[in-house]
Amino acid sequence: DSPVPVRPGTDPAEVLHRIFGHTGFRGRQEEIVRHVLGGGSGLVLMPTGGGKSLCFQVPALCREGLGVVVSPLIALMEDQVAAMRQQGVAAAALHSDLPEDQAREVRRDLARGAIKLLYVSPERLSFDNTLTRLAEHPIALFAIDEAHCVSQWGHHFRPEYRGLGMLAERFPDVPRLALTATADPRTVEDIRVQLGLQDSPVFRGGFDRPNIFISAAAREQERAQLRAFVKSAGDGAGAGIVYCGTRAKTEQTAEWLRADGHDALCFHAGMDPAAKRDSHRRFARGDAVIMAATIAFGMGIDRPDVRWVCHLDLPKSPESWYQEIGRAGRDGLPARALLLYGAGDIALARHRIQESPAMPEQKRIERARLEAMVSIAEAATCRRKILLRCFGESLEGDNPESCGACDICREPPKLFDGTVPAQKLLSAVLRTRLNNGSHFGLGHVVDVLRGKLTPKVAQFAHDKLKTFGIGTDLSEAAWKGVARQLVARGALDVAIENHGELVPTDAARPILKGEEKVLLREEMLTARAEPRTTRA
């Protein structure tokens, strides 16, 4: 009586079809599955819902031996075990909520090699000589789900995860596949180091949601813009979400929407629990409702037919924006996202970070995320391309520069040739480089360009440089815009680790040599104060 209805060596496509009932792999699943089948280890970065589970389930079934899945989420373990059992796979879970008699039974089954797929919590893995027992039988692979829990940088650190580092030493021949939805570069590096995956590939994928049309606009007449968007995107069907920066604004917006003839609700963390539950329930029920909410609204929205998401205020990072707009179009049908922002939002967000009690290190990270968000808002080129770049991905499809499903691709903005300002900025970055190879941050570079004799400029004698004062024709805001465009196209990196140091990349060279043009959005250079806003 085999613990699995699949013989070792079975083709993964057949397993995918027969056990999971899917017709084909998605995105990078197949590549990952084959890599692990061949004995390789690696790290998988995919958003929630991206299809991470199959990446370890399929190779676990195709390889000989026991598949061990480390997971901190008991509910998820139980779900997957139940689903696998239904398909005739001998799966079991071992975690601290399991009654002792059942745990004993699982251990007995393990000892006689009667389990094919074991879900285990990290603390259980280190208890009861579990590993020693496991070592008595062949192991197909180790999957380490929610791998960001190993990193102290995130908010989900679990000390028990640290112990998983020894898997590499104790089982050098067993593939280890770590999986997470966190794509933050620092966390990713930390996971690789902690789990001994430095020499193994990182598979990123699935971040694109091509059915969501994305757009952004300067906030001019907020309500008129929202009204027009709701009309074009909602068309009376499905649901919509308006994300607001403050609790008060969610209430005002919901009220205004109701006055405008919509069924609108609000949701924020300050509401009493009964009111929150009520809002949630009404949203889930399936009517054509609009939810005006803070980012507190999100967990547990599984309504597939959210047709649109509008942000009335700038999100704090591309990760948050991505997650929030990702609540639209889960059914795969066309959906739309609109981001409204003002120069004031950007300044305010920067100020908030500056004034926050966070550690300098943390502030730098938050600032870099904010700047990345700003570069999406102010993009002169495909927004989806810039968004995906934040996750280390590029556009799929025929055109590597244009997604065809954002406002920029659909209707390119008026551009002008900004090659000269771009060259000036890049050369100021290069000329202020110190002998030890380090660079300065944006503030200093702009001071040099604008010929401002600050103490720092004097200290480094940067007023003696040829680039000193060559940029008085543009305002500080315009220079920052130029820098953001260069960051957005990858010609400049912002080294978060190092005081926001601006580091030119290889992509800067053709620009400096005049071999490549830099197109900037026209309105960006007319350095502006806060555009006309309609106050809520």
406 binds, options Zn ion, ligand ADP, none, Cβ within 5 to 8 A by partner type: Zn ion
Helix (H) or strand (E) holding 439: none
- CA-CA distance, 165 to 149, in Å (whole number)? 12
46 binds, options Zn ion, ligand ADP, none, Cβ within 5 to 8 A by partner type: ligand ADP
Min dist. Cβ of residue 201 to Zn ion (A): 28
Min dist. Cβ of residue 406 to Zn ion (A): 3
Helix (H) or strand (E) holding 239: strand 239-243
The residue among 28 and 439 lying less far from ligand ADP, judged by its C-beta, is 28
254 binds, options ligand ADP, Zn ion, none, Cβ within 5 to 8 A by partner type: none
- Number of amino acids touching Zn ion (CB under 5 A): 5
Min dist. Cβ of residue 30 to ligand ADP (A): 9
Min dist. Cβ of residue 407 to Zn ion (A): 8
29 binds, options ligand ADP, Zn ion, none, Cβ within 5 to 8 A by partner type: ligand ADP
Instruction: At 259, list the tokens.
Output: 């006055």
- CA-CA distance, 377 to 409, in Å (whole number)? 14
The residue among 57 and 194 lying less far from ligand ADP, judged by its C-beta, is 57
Which residues does residue 91 pair with via DSSP β-bridges, in sequence order?
A: 117
The contact set with ligand ADP (CB under 6 A) reads 22, 25-26, 29, 46, 48-54
Min dist. Cβ of residue 373 to Zn ion (A): 17
Burial class (CB in 10 A: 0-12, 13-18, 19+), 322: buried
The three-point CA angle 237-238-240 to 5° equals: 110
Q: Of these, 403, 483, 511, 525, which contacts Zn ion (CB under 5 A)?
A: 403
| Contacts with 301 (C-beta within 8 Å, 6 or more apart), sequence order | 283, 284, 327
What is the CA 534 to chain-centroid distance, rounded?
31
Q: Which residue has the tokens 């195709």?
A: 62
The residue among 254 and 403 lying less far from Zn ion, judged by its C-beta, is 403
448 binds, options ligand ADP, Zn ion, none, Cβ within 5 to 8 A by partner type: none
The residue among 56 and 391 lying less far from Zn ion, judged by its C-beta, is 391
For the segment 408-467, give every residue that binds Zn ion (CB under 5 A): 409
51 binds, options Zn ion, ligand ADP, none, Cβ within 5 to 8 A by partner type: ligand ADP
Min dist. Cβ of residue 288 to ligand ADP (A): 26
Instruction: At 139, list the tokens.
Output: 């192991």
290 binds, options Zn ion, ligand ADP, none, Cβ within 5 to 8 A by partner type: none
124 binds, options ligand ADP, Zn ion, none, Cβ within 5 to 8 A by partner type: none
Min dist. Cβ of residue 197 to ligand ADP (A): 18
Whole-angstrom distance between the N-terminal and C-terminal Cα of the chain?
68
In order, the DSSP letters of 84-118 are: HHHTT--EEEE-TTS-HHHHHHHHHHHHTT--SEE
Using the 8-state DSSP alphabet, how is residue 261 labeled?
A: T
Which residues does residue 503 pair with via DSSP β-bridges, in sequence order?
A: 493
Draw the binding track, 332-371, toward Zn ion (x: CB under 5 A; -: no contact). ----------------------------------------
Which CB contacts under 8 angstroms, 24+ apart, belong to 441-446?
Answer: 441/499, 441/500, 441/501, 441/502, 442/480, 442/483, 442/494, 442/500, 442/502, 445/483, 445/502, 446/471, 446/476, 446/479, 446/480, 446/483
The verdict on 373 binding Zn ion (CB under 5 A) reads: no
Binding-site ranges for Zn ion (CB under 5 A): 382, 384, 403, 406, 409
